Structure 1
Amino acid sequence: MHTVKCGFAALTLSLLLSGCAPHQQAAAPETAQQKLTEQTVFAVNWMQQSGEISALSYQAFNTAETAFTQAKARPGLKKAVVVDLDETMIDNSAYAGWQIKHHQPFTDATWSKWNQAREAKALPGAVEFSHYVLEHGGRIFYVSNRAQADYTATVDNLKALGFADVSPQTVLLKPTGGSSNKVERFAAVEKQGYDIVVYVGDNLNDFSGETYHKLNTQRRDFVNRHQEEFGRKYIVLPNPSYGDWEGGMAQDYFKVNDEGKVKIREERIDAWDGK
């Protein structure tokens, strides 16, 4: 009888304790914004870990050197090269890594904070290419859509990495209150007496205004119509993490909410039916 009473008391105490214990909170459901950010994980893994991205970068700049050497400027003009900065000459994947780790979307404020940190790295072959152009009679212009507020930090970062000819004349950021369409800045380079013989970028907008904020069907059409110029005048570096191609998946893509973006991304997958 004593054993039964002890067992009953122990069971009662266990039930009381379990009833008083705090309930374990269920994990919060994943938000659409978190899903959007996490969908970039594999792309950023590739950008930071693969040997292939270094190979493609060297390949791009080797090709750009050849293209620059073989190009002939129009009579009376000097040869120039226009390059983008982000994911073309410098690597910002650590910012994308921060977004993933902290489930944060892109914002102008955090992007500026990253720029101000001056921690971007040079892509393989980029620094050497900038010196090649200068040493072979050309001039390189860094045309970027970074904000004017980040100009000093951007110049500091480029100079610390060893890029050639970094100056107020060659670093052309997005005008305050102006457009991110680069065509006006391309024209400003030409007005200085230069013929832009090579463009280097990770976005079709780095080459022409024809693709600016256009759907991907139109962007692909631009590529098809100018196929002979890729590798000769237009040099593309890989960037699977972000770009105008994302907005090109649907009209007004960047104006829809996060749930809408997730839906568009899923709808744009061309999938085998498994049969």
Structure 2
Amino acid sequence: MIRTDILKSLAIAVALGGLSGCATVPPAPAAAPPPAMQYLYGSAEAAAASVQAYAALVAEAEGRAARRESAVLADGATLDAPRFADCGDKPLAALFDADETLILNGGYEYDQARRGGAFDSASWDRWEKTGTDKVVAVPGAAAALTALRAMGITPIVNSNRSAANAAESEAALAAAGLGTFRHGETLFLKGDADGKSAKDARRAAIAARWCVIAMAGDQLGDFSDLFAGDPAARRALAQSRAIAALWGRGWFVLPNPVYGAGVAGGWDEVFPVGQRWTDPGSKRKE
């Protein structure tokens, strides 16, 4: 899971007051959750998009399993010329990110939104340790994992949760109704394989043991660490001919407008000059 400081722009300014003229007052809670959180954790539309993604994954899985077709890029592959790991006679698996892919961390985000301020890694660590009974399954995830297991396809998790909290992450996945996962067997965490947060080394280690026929995540890094560059470059890569052919056919994306590399970009990156419009009836000037 990759975090960005999206809540800075949403926090209410700290009030200054008191007889001393310099005392600070904690920001008051916002009147409502940030729109991105309203969408991901509260909307029917986000639930529908997630169910749709998981239904597509299950529908695609049987054929890919029969063909023993890997979804993990092979060592040395590029996004322009993707090649895939060899399945051989390895057991079948499907690979998932955890946070905002299999489970929703609404409890943590509630606390973060009410407190305001930047992402706090210490607070997140406490959430991993104590919030195991507060996570819920992403809509469609539990049914999809049940269907995959019935096909003989083992769900495996590749997450950037801390390896030090492996037992708690196992408990969180189980509490969400997603079944049993074991660290080092079907659960791989930050630091496993190469000690880094990037996921390619873990994916390679998993693909060396399993025929991974599908992958699902909420960040492009859940599919390959090769997605790099500014927002425009990443967006172009995601739509390139070679990569576009993988969406819904081996790679499956879940919505996450709350945090991550997808929540980035300035005015010029998000709204290219040639695509802008200014209301001729408005008095506002560019």
TM-score under structure 2 normalisation? Answer: 0.73
CA deviation after TM superposition for structure 1 residue 137, in Å: 1.3
User: Are the structure 2 counterparts of residues 144 and 129 from structure 1 closer, same or farther at C-alpha, using a change threshold of 3 Å?
Assistant: same
Amino acid at match of 1:178: G
* Cross-structure match for 1:131: 146
Q: Aligned runs of 1:1-275 on 2, under 5 Å?
A: 41-71=34-64, 72-73=67-68, 74-117=87-130, 118=132, 119-168=134-183, 169-175=185-191, 178-192=195-209, 194-211=210-227, 213-225=228-240, 226-246=243-263, 249=265, 264=266, 268-270=269-271, 272-275=277-280
CA-CA distance at 1:48 after TM superposition: 2.4
Q: Give a deviation string over 1:241-273, Cα, whole Å, max 9, x none.
A: 0012235x3xxxxxxxxxxxxxx4x56552532
Structure 1: how far apart are the matches of 2:91 and 2:237?
27
State the shift of 1:203 in Å: 0.4
After superposition, the CA RMSD in angstroms is 3.0
One-letter amino acid of the structure 1 residue matched with residue 176 of structure 2: L
The answer to whether the 8 A contact 1:144-1:172 is kept is yes
C-alpha contact 2:93 2:213 (8 A) present in aligned 1: yes
For residues 23 and 248 of structure 2, what CA distance do their matches in structure 1 show?
A: 50
Matched position secondary structure for 2:190: coil
SS at match of 1:235: strand
Amino acid at match of 1:242: Y
What amino acid is aligned across from residue 171 of structure 1 in structure 2?
L
Q: Which runs of 4+ in 1 moved over 3 A?
A: 25-31, 37-40, 266-269
Q: State the structure with more CA Rg.
A: 1
**AA at the equivalent of 2:125:** S
CA contact (8 A) 1:210 1:222 kept: no
Offset, 1:27 = 11
Alignment partner of 2:94: what SS? strand
Secondary structure in structure 2 of the residue aligned to 1:229: coil
Q: Which structure: greater helix fraction? A: 1
Identity %: 26
Question: The residue matched to 1:274 in structure 2 has which SS?
Answer: coil
2:104 touches 2:135 (CA, 8 Å); kept in 1?
yes
The whole-number CA distance in structure 1 between the counterparts of 2:277 and 2:31 is 24
Distance in 1 of aligned mates of 2:189 and 2:163:
6
Q: Contact 1:40–1:241 (CA<8 Å) still a contact in 2? A: no
Q: Which residue of 2 aligns with 1:260?
A: none
Give the secondary structure class of the aligned counterpart of 1:181: coil
Q: CA separation of 1:227/1:269 partners in 2, compared to 1, >3 Å: closer, same or farther?
A: closer
- CA-CA distance at 1:42 after TM superposition: 0.7
Name the count of aligned residue pairs: 232
How far does the alpha carbon of each residue in 1:11-35 deviate from its partner, in whole angstroms, 9 at most, with x for none? xxxxxxxxxxx98x8997999xx9x
Distance apart, 1:93 and its partner CA = 2.5
Deviations 1:76-106 (A, max 9, x none): 2332211000000000133122112111321
Q: How far apart in 2 are the matches of 1:121 and 1:69?
A: 27
Amino acid at match of 1:274: D
* Displacement of 1:162: 2.3
Q: What TM-score does the superposition give when structure 1 sets the normalisation length?
A: 0.75
| Structure 2 unmatched ranges of 5 or more | 1-17, 69-86, 281-286
Q: Distance in 2 between matches of 1:234 and 1:217?
A: 21
* Contact kept? 2:170, 2:180, Cα under 8 Å: no
